[in-house]
Amino acid sequence: MANFDHQTLEHLKKLCKIECTPEENEDILNSLSRVLNYVEQLKEVNTENTKTCRYVLRGMLKSKLRDDVVADLLPREEFLRNAPDQIGGMIRVPPVLKPSS
């Protein structure tokens, strides 16, 4: 099993161009160790008679999906009536990016 140490983490941080606090470093090392342990557990599963999965959505293709139908758009007023908050004829959403300090 591969083992992540502080030197490997420093190399990964350099490649990813990220900075972490010492506490975050420990959390990352613990998380990576848990992932590696899980992968090791998966190696123990007998997959000898299991077919290779080359297309993960194949099961969805068997189910019937509705055809796309072109229809008239809702009037703006009716559409905005369903919005929890609006401003100036547009839907107001919470900010995604926080202003830098």
pLDDT, residue 54, reads 72
Residue 27 has a pLDDT of: 93
Nearest to 21 by CA among 13, 7, 5, 100: 13
- Domain enclosing residue 32, as ranges: 6-43
Q: Is 60 within a domain?
A: no
Residue 61, pLDDT score: 64
Residue 25 lies in a domain: yes
Encode the chain (101 residues) as per-residue pLDDT tens digits.
467 788 989 998 999 999 999 999 999 999 988 998 999 998 899 988 888 877 777 666 666 677 888 988 889 889 898 899 998 889 998 888 877 76
Asked if the structure places residue 35 within a domain, the reply is: yes
Number of domains in the chain: 1
Please report, to the nearest 10 degrees, the dihedral formed by the alpha carbons of residues 71, 76, 79, 85 taken in order.
160
pLDDT at 23: 93
